[in-house]
């Protein structure tokens, strides 16, 4: 079997393993990628991340629900744990690098989506400053100024906590109008994000993992250009 066929088979195993939430299958395929001397970044983006996109479609069609998404996310993590240390700077080529400040806003303790997005930003070569969950609004501003991060990503899963995002956007833009601010979370719509003055938003089909999948799609698009 040629190297290309081995690669294709392992990418399919990685993708299927995520979709079938089979952590053992994902771990085994990830280890084989390393044993065969294949490219770890390729395996993450065109194996694991592709699988997560399929999961997103299944969720949209209501064939998968939140419990399945969480199991799929666990399988994704299992693969990333093995492959991420083997991603080289040269694999990332010209994909945009920079710093990201990320966190879930004050009063909100949901962080599944944030954690997946954080991991994908790291895989794509960004330096991620993760503030965690239930983050005071001023902390986002302080951290952006401290790190001079190009991107600030805010997550909220409740309508009540979402309102705090508007204040964060205003505070950051006053001090540094060039920062790209991304918002994500179930209660958000594009209109709300625009109204709040954000530069981007991850649209959600009702839960946090879905936004992460949308961001993964964007990162894959950038990578495959």
pLDDT in tens, the chain (225 residues): 789 999 999 999 999 999 999 999 999 999 999 999 999 989 988 899 889 888 878 887 889 887 888 899 899 989 999 998 898 767 766 555 678 899 999 998 877 778 777 877 777 778 899 999 999 999 999 999 999 988 899 988 788 888 899 999 999 999 988 888 888 876 778 888 899 998 777 654 334 455 555 555 665 665 565
Check whether residue 118 and residue 44 sit in a common domain.
no
User: Looking at residue 51, which CATH number applies to its domain?
Assistant: 1.10.1240.10
Q: Do 30 and 109 have their domain in common? A: no
Q: What is the pLDDT of residue 138?
A: 94
Q: State which H helix or E strand residue 50 sits in.
A: helix 49-60
Res 119: pLDDT: 77
Q: Give CA 225 to chain center in angstroms.
A: 19
Residue 78 vs residues 17, 84, 179, 200: alpha-carbon distances, Å: 10, 10, 33, 29
User: Number of folded domains in the chain?
Assistant: 2
To which H or E segment does residue 194 belong?
helix 190-196
Full domain range(s) for residue 99: 94-224
Which tokens in the block code for residue 121? 């930003």
Cα–Cα distance, 110 to 103 (Å, whole number): 10
- The pLDDT, as a whole number, for residue 223 is 57
Note the pLDDT of residue 103.
94
């Amino acid at each position: 079997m040629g190297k290309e066929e081995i690669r294709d088979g392992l990418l399919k195993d990685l993708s299927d393993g995520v979709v079938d939430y089979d952590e053992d299958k994902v771990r085994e395929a990830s280890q084989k990628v390393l044993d065969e001397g294949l490219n770890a970044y390729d395996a993450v983006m065109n194996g694991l991340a592709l699988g997560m996109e399929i999961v997103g479609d299944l969720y949209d069609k209501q064939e998968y629900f939140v419990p399945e998404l969480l199991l799929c996310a666990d399988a994704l993590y299992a693969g990333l744990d093995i492959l991420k240390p083997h991603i080289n700077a040269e694999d990332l080529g010209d994909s945009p690098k920079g710093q990201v400040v990320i966190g879930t806003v004050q009063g909100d303790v949901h962080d599944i989506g944030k954690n997946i997005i954080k991991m994908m930003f790291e895989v794509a070569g960004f330096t991620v400053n993760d503030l965690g969950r239930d983050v005071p609004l001023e902390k986002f501003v302080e951290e952006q100024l401290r790190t001079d991060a190009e991107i600030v990503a805010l997550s909220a899963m409740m309508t009540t906590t979402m309102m705090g995002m508007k204040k964060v956007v205003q505070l950051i833009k006053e001090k540094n109008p060039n920062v790209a601010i991304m918002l994500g979370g179930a209660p958000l719509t594009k209109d709300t994000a625009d109204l709040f003055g954000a530069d981007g938003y991850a649209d959600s089909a009702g839960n946090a993992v879905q936004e992460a999948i949308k961001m993964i799609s964007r990162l894959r698009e950038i990578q495959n250009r």
